[in-house]
Structure 1
Amino acid sequence: MRDTLSLLFYLMRLRVRTRLEFRASLVIAWAAQAFGYAGVFASIWLIITRFENIGGWTWPQMALLLGFHTLGYALGACFTLVQLRRMEEIVLGGEFDTLLVRPLNPWAYLVFSGFNIEYGGHVLLGAGLIVWALPQIPIEWDVEASILIFGALVSAALITASMLTMIGACAMILGRARYLFGIYFDFWELSRYPASIFAPVFQIALVSVMPLGYMAYVPVSVLLKRPVAYLGSAAEIAALAAGPISVLAAVVFWRFCLRRYQGGGG
């Protein structure tokens, strides 16, 4: 076990060192991503400036929501998005067959060897929004609130990694899976807004079959003492438990798909 972990972290360090060979392009990529997201957030700010709020959410509250959403996503996607979005090509090209004969879990090899540090712009922007927004909002600071903030960010990262893992795993059965990422990101974009502004069917979807509401909306609502539809008093526990539950679901689904994998050609 120790040797396996050492090897995985070595692969991750090797990936980071390789990417740092081109520091200028890396910084440019960070800046480009940050400006892209900042443009979207600026449009939300303009709407709130014009109408004062979105579904009762003021700009500092929305900034906290966007910060949670962006940072949690970045922490999960840096291990999974680029790597597992290639699963279709990996399977159809026969590369996945070569991973199965290596003395290392294929999922672990993919995510650690492909660790992506290009999410630096996301991390800085998300953390910056959180740091700016928290002093603007009257939050009752105690140990419970601190645990909720830290735990919710970890949970958001786990949800992101789990969802992307399950989508990528579909390639082992379907052969084609890239189009599923488009569906995922449609819901992901909805989850950066308060779920309460959507129709009940979308609210239910964001806390059940597509649990992206737990990335930001549910934990931030709990911090702000706002009611969460369909969860009620269980919202805080659900926000912290959603990540680990998603991981268990992803593990089961990955193994299910792996058992039914019959080769993709190549």
Structure 2
Amino acid sequence: MSRTLFIADLHLSSNQPEITDAFFDFLDKEIDQQVDALYILGDFFEVWVGDDASDAFSDDIAARLKQLADQGIAIYFAHGNRDFLLGQRYAQKAGMTLLAEQTVIDLYGTQVLLLHGDEMCTQDLEYQRFRRKSRGWWWPRLMLAMPLWYRRRVAKKARAKSKQSQQHKAVEILDVERSAVLDTFSKHQVRIMIHGHTHRPAVHQYDQEQTRIVLGDWYEQSSFLVVDKQHMRLHYGDHADTLTQWQHAD
């Protein structure tokens, strides 16, 4: 039976080869000719400061993905808060199609919203200020015009600042906010949403028969979602949550 796969928050880095190994193992085990598409919903890389910063590590990742694309498997990429500077040059090298921040797809006859999810963490005011700047029209252009060494320094400082800031924030602030979720459902007129970012894999149900599926990270749980015409199965660690006949929600 045809199926579609979704992943997010791998945070791939040459400093954590075990995650890369887990990703390649996932590709070997889960992807075959019955897979229609692979969707990568952001934070695929730990950091991305521009396509001109690609190296042997990222080129190896691209080669593995391009091999799948050449076999007829569609690969889609939505930017996360760590890799929003990933551009068309690397996407083409990897055989990926870049998606808008929020994209509605037809998933086996049901309209489903895909996004990274960080825009719904509206209680984290400090991060939202940075997000508005970093996703605006001028800041990415300015950054990409800077020398590579400078961009790497900025990214390093930003990661350190973010890590320190999160240590002092309540768990609720770092999660999505309910009203933002409901507003997003209403904006796109869908009943199913899939996203990552929070690293808290779960299936959430809302009053109006709306379902929000959260992908987990890959630090330990190698989370992924498998969807076919009858089931949605969210894998994380040794667990799996299954929605049977999920299309009834549309």
Question: Larger radius of gyration, structure 1 or 2?
Answer: 1
More relative contact order, 1 or 2 (CA 8 Å, 6+ apart):
1
Q: TM exceeds 0.5?
A: no
**Normalising by structure 2, what TM-score?**
0.24
**Normalising by structure 1, what TM-score?**
0.23
Query: Which has a greater percent of strand?
Result: 2
